[in-house]
């Protein structure tokens, strides 16, 4: 028999876990489905210094575990499985997963987005040890140290401008000879004395000991190779929202992110979205948690209607 829930939450990052806390504490019969590590992306953060309530900071892994513990205390059930689709039926939603189907009155989608990776040697090894995908999260760890930003779009240049407040130098590495970022961001970057550019260049390798020490670059037009000494490499070459299983069910923006209203409701009644998967998300643990709380509160109102 297919198990029935009031709310099914897809994704066990800060958004999903907070939605789970609010939903289960509101005495809704709630199931959270997670395909990987409970805690989500924040579990990859060595130290989180900007989540309120932890004045000394906290390891990302521990933060995720505490969130899960807190939600579980109020009755949230967790299933380790991958959601593969949602079917809208009269008055209910069927959630298809690798561990079977589930029925819910409301669904909260919190399956996050993944940063595009460079796919070069050293990237995985040094993630959290100099390689970062989030300047807002990690810039403060690189005070007065040289860093590189890889990318040339709005996100990359915004990261570079933020990093310039902390780092000694910021080298933007871009595979083309001009930026894709908006004109205003370009003007700001060109007038910031700490920001330098390596045009027509790609990162071939990231090297170091315990932490990043340098990157190996290749100039694409000439094939010339060089090394750049940096303590940090911020990769900003795009996002891949985890929305493949939602195609055809929900309208997505041009980047594949879910459009919601201020109640976090997507364009289908009883389907909510929270966190990094949402159009215009600030992509922080605290904003994801806030979205999750909002989504659960309005999911409860939807169910009781």
Ligand X SMILES: Cc1cc2nc3c(=O)[nH]c(=O)nc-3n(C[C@H](O)[C@H](O)[C@H](O)COP(=O)(O)OP(=O)(O)OC[C@H]3O[C@@H](n4cnc5c(N)ncnc54)[C@H](O)[C@@H]3O)c2cc1C
Catalytic residues: 134, 137-138
Nearer to ligand X, 38 or 161 (CB): 38
Nearer to ligand X, 36 or 269 (CB): 36
Does position 62 interact with ligand X (CB under 6 A)? The reply is: no
Does position 14 interact with ligand X (CB under 6 A)? The reply is: yes
Nearer to ligand X, 167 or 189 (CB): 167
- Could you give the CA distance from residue 34 to residue 235 in angstroms, rounded to a whole number? 26
Half-sphere exposure of 169 (CA within 13 A, CB side): 10
Both structure tokens of 204: 């071939």
Quote the least distance from Cβ 104 to ligand X, whole Å.
14
Of the candidates 67, 71, 189, 288, which one interacts with ligand X according to CB under 6 A? 288
Quote the least distance from Cβ 292 to ligand X, whole Å.
7
Taking residues 88 to 117 in sequence order and writing x for each that binds ligand X by CB under 6 A, - otherwise, the string is ----------------------xxx-----
Which residues make beta-bridge pairs with 172?
A: 149, 197
Of the candidates 31, 230, 283, 293, which one interacts with ligand X according to CB under 6 A? 283
Does position 182 interact with ligand X (CB under 6 A)? The reply is: no
Which residues make beta-bridge pairs with 235?
A: 150
Of the candidates 7, 21, 28, 45, which one interacts with ligand X according to CB under 6 A? 45
Nearer to ligand X, 165 or 176 (CB): 165
Does position 192 interact with ligand X (CB under 6 A)? The reply is: no
Quote the least distance from Cβ 250 to ligand X, whole Å.
13
- Could you give the CA distance from residue 129 to residue 118 in angstroms, rounded to a whole number? 16
Quote the least distance from Cβ 86 to ligand X, whole Å.
10
From the list 139-147, 213-221, 225-233, 274-282, the region that binds ligand X by CB under 6 A is 274-282
Write out the binding residues for ligand X, residues 137-176 only, by CB under 6 A.
137
Interface positions with ligand X (CB under 6 A): 10-16, 33-36, 40-42, 44-45, 48, 50-51, 82-83, 110-112, 128, 133-134, 137, 242, 245, 275-277, 283-286, 288
């Amino acid at each position: 028999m297919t198990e029935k829930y009031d709310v099914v939450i897809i994704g066990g990052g800060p958004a999903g876990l907070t939605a789970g806390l609010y939903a289960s504490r509101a005495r809704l019969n709630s199931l959270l489905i997670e395909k990987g590590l409970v805690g989500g992306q924040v579990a990859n953060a060595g130290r989180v210094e900007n989540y309120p309530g932890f004045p000394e900071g906290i390891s990302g892994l521990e933060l995720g575990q505490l969130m899960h513990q807190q939600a579980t205390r109020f009755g949230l059930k967790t299933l380790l499985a991958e959601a593969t689709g949602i079917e809208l039926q009269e008055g209910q939603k069927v959630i298809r997963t690798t561990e079977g189907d589930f029925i819910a009155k409301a669904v909260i989608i919190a399956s996050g987005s993944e940063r595009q990776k460079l796919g070069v040697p050293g990237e995985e090894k040094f993630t959290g040890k100099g390689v970062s995908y989030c300047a807002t999260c990690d810039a403060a760890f690189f005070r007065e140290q040289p860093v590189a930003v890889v990318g040339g779009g709005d996100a990359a240049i915004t990261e570079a401008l933020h990093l310039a407040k902390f780092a000694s130098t910021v080298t933007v590495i871009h595979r083309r000879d001009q930026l894709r970022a908006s004109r205003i961001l370009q003007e700001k970057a060109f007038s910031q004395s700490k920001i330098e550019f390596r045009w027509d260049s790609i990162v071939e390798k990231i090297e170091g000991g315990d932490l990043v020490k340098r990157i190996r670059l290749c100039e694409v037009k000439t094939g010339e190779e060089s090394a750049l000494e940096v303590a940090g490499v911020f990769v900003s070459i795009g996002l891949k929202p985890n929305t493949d299983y939602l195609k055809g069910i929900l309208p997505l923006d041009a980047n594949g992110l879910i459009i919601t209203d201020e109640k976090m409701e997507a364009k289908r009644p009883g389907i909510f979205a929270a966190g990094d998967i949402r159009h215009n998300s600030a992509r922080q643990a605290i904003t994801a948690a806030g979205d999750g709380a909002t989504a659960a509160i309005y999911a409860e109102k939807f169910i009781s209607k």
